[in-house]
Structure formats: C-alpha cells, structure tokens
C-alpha cells in the first residue's frame, strides 16, 4: 500500500512547475521545509498519526495512507438493493408482463387474420381475372380441353380436385396464398420434399410447386362451385374449417333447406368464425350465423343451380 502511495505522489499534477498533492492541495512536494511538513501534520491530525518515514523528504504513515485509500474507495461504491426493493421491482415487472402479454397475443392474431384476408382477396381477384378471359366462367365450369378444370362439366369427373385452383395458376401467381397461416394440417407446397433446404425451395420455379400441389396438404380454402362472376354476392371461396351434419366433401344447400342450414365454423382456424370471399372479390369476416345468412342470400339471388355448393379441399380421388 505504501508503494502505491509513493507511485501516486510521483504521478501528482504540476502547477507552475511544482507537483501538487490532490489530498493536501496546499502542499508542494518541492517544498521540503517545515511549512510543508506542518501542513501534512495539520491534515493528518484528522486521521492517523504520521510517522517520520522519509520519502522524498515527506513522511507518510501506512495507517494514514490506508485510511485515505479506504475512504476514497468507499466513494466509488453505491448502496446495494435491499430485499424489499428487489421484490418490489419483480412485482412491477410481473404486473407489466400480465398487462402486455394479452395485448401482444391479440396483435399476433390480428396479424394472422389480416394475412388470411389478403390471401382470399388475391384468390378472388385471380379467379375474376381468369373469368374475364373465359366468358365470365370460373375454371370448374370450363372443360379441360378449353383450359378449365372441368370439375362440373367433364364426364367422367376429373379425379384431382386441386385442378380447380391449378387451372388459374397464372392469375393466382403463387400457391402460397392457398394456405392459411395458422392451419396446422397444411403447409405451403414450397416446403415439399425435393429441394434440400428452404433456400433451395424458395428458389424453385413456381410451376414446380403448382405441379406438386395437393388439396389435402396445401389448400386451406373451400370453393363455392355455384359462384358466378355475374352474381357478385355469390360465395366464391372461404375458410375450410367448417363442418356439417352431412359429413360430405361437397356440401349442397338449396331452398329446400329453408332456414335449417347446419353448416358451422369450427375452432381450427378462427375459433368459431371465418372469412369468405364473394364473386366480386370482397372479403368478409363472418360468424356461423352470418355465414348461414350469406348462403341463404346466395340461394335466393337466383344463381344457375338455385343452390350453394361448398366444395372442401381434397387430393386425388
């Protein structure tokens, strides 16, 4: 410790060519007379007694140096947290987390719902573009030989339901829009086996993804096979998380059903509600009751079949 004090003395700043002691500012090391020693004793009287150990004609005592060092060191340490203060901080953090987490969860759900709305809007626009080039007909009412899927007109019926979407691949652009973000049972076809990594899959041609498309695995939205481009309120597509007492892949409702339409949104996609897109490409978030009202409206609007046919996604039959 004494050696450290000596080094400190040697490193003291100079004023007018004289080194100045930061602890005893009035004392100059260049003054070796009684005045300087008297000043040391004056300041030292507040602490321990100075010993007459001569160092550069200045006598420092180890106890005094220790006392000065401890005092100087103590000024650099703040007061530590008490246990009560720590518990208060933890409690405040817990309260803030309890308030913020539900809000963050709600924001995440809204973000997923917004993506679903965007997907259906793109589907609606894509099918309308296709219909504009095909005499206002959607792919399932156009024969395979004419570029459609022929689902409703070809005999025998084609065996791949996915062709109803695949026929409009140029207008839909990417099969990514056919998958709902939180649909745990389906994935984008870009994630199919083949490319060795996600990066390679992303770089794969879009046509490869369309050729690998499987309705059971990669499509989250049903089709309204009775939809007409000229009937803007007819149901074109929507969330496939629905069920009915008929337990069929094609749910058909007509005027004979009256108000006994039993189609229901389940909790797999939107927790008891869903999204639909109409033939005018407008997207609507609806409850089960509202969905049934849309079905009744579509039936009474006078479509060609006088019925609503909800065709659920499936693969090759």
User: pTM here?
Assistant: 0.64
12 lies in some domain = yes
Predicted confidence at residue 178, as pLDDT, reads 92
Task: Classify the C-alpha dihedral 266-189-234-299 as positive or negative.
Answer: negative
- One domain, residues 267 and 178: yes
Residue 82 lies in a domain: no
Whether residues 132 and 44 share a domain: the answer is no
Same domain, 66 and 190: no
How does residue 107 score in pLDDT terms, banded at 50, 70 and 90?
Answer: low
pLDDT tier, 27 (very low <50, low <70, confident <90, very high otherwise):
very low
112 three-class SS? helix
Q: Are residues 33 and 182 in the same domain?
A: no
Confidence at 33, pLDDT banded by 50, 70, 90? very low
Q: pLDDT digits over 248-283, tens only?
A: 889 988 877 776 788 888 876 667 789 999 999 999
Out of 66-80, 90-104, 146-160, 173-187, least confident range: 66-80
3-state SS of 6-55 is HHHHHCCCEECCEEECCCCCCCECCCCCHHHHHHHHHHHCCCCCCCCCEE
- Whether 106 shows a pLDDT value over 70: the answer reads no
Contacts of 116 (CB under 8 A, 6+ apart): 180, 181, 239, 269, 270, 275
DSSP one-letter code for 271? S
Domain that holds residue 274: 114-311
Tokens standing for residue 25 = 């500012």
**What local confidence, expressed as pLDDT, does residue 187 receive?**
79
Answer yes or no: do 168 and 54 share one domain. no
Which is nearest to 291 in space by CA: 276, 279, 306, 311?
276
- Pair 40, 147 in one domain: no
Residues 136, 234, single domain; the answer is yes
* Angle between the N-to-C axes of helices 62-74 and 2-10, in degrees from 0 to 180, rounded to the nearest 10: 80
Q: How many domains does the chain contain in total?
A: 2
């Amino acid at each position: 410790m004494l050696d450290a004090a000596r080094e400190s003395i040697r490193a003291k700043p100079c004023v007018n060519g004289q080194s100045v002691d930061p602890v005893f500012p009035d004392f100059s090391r260049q003054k070796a007379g009684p005045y300087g020693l008297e000043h040391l004793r004056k300041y030292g009287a507040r602490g321990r007694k100075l010993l007459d150990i001569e160092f550069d004609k200045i006598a420092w005592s180890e106890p005094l140096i220790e006392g000065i060092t401890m005092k100087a060191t103590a000024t650099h340490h703040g007061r530590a947290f008490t246990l009560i203060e720590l518990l208060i901080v933890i409690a405040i953090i817990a309260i803030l987390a309890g308030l913020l987490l539900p809000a963050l969860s709600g924001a995440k759900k809204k973000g997923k719902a917004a993506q679903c709305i965007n997907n259906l809007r793109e589907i609606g626009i894509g099918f309308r573009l296709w219909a504009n080039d095909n005499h206002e007909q959607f792919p399932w009412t156009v024969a395979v030989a004419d570029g459609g899927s022929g689902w409703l007109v070809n005999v025998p019926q084609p065996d791949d339901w996915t062709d109803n979407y695949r026929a409009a691949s140029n207008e839909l652009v990417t099969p990514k829009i056919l998958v709902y973000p939180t649909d745990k049972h389906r994935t984008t076809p870009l994630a199919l086996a083949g490319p060795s990594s996600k990066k390679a899959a992303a770089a794969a041609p879009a046509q490869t993804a369309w050729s690998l498309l499987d309705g059971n695995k990669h499509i989250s939205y049903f089709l309204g096979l009775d939809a007409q481009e000229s009937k803007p309120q007819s149901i074109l597509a929507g969330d496939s998380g629905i069920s009915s007492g008929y337990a069929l892949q094609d749910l058909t409702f007509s005027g004979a059903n009256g108000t006994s339409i039993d189609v229901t949104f389940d909790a797999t996609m939107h927790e008891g509600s869903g999204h639909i897109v109409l033939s005018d490409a407008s997207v609507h978030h609806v409850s089960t009751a509202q969905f049934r009202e849309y079905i009744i409206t579509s039936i009474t609007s006078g479509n060609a079949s006088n019925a609503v046919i909800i065709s659920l996604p499936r693969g090759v039959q």
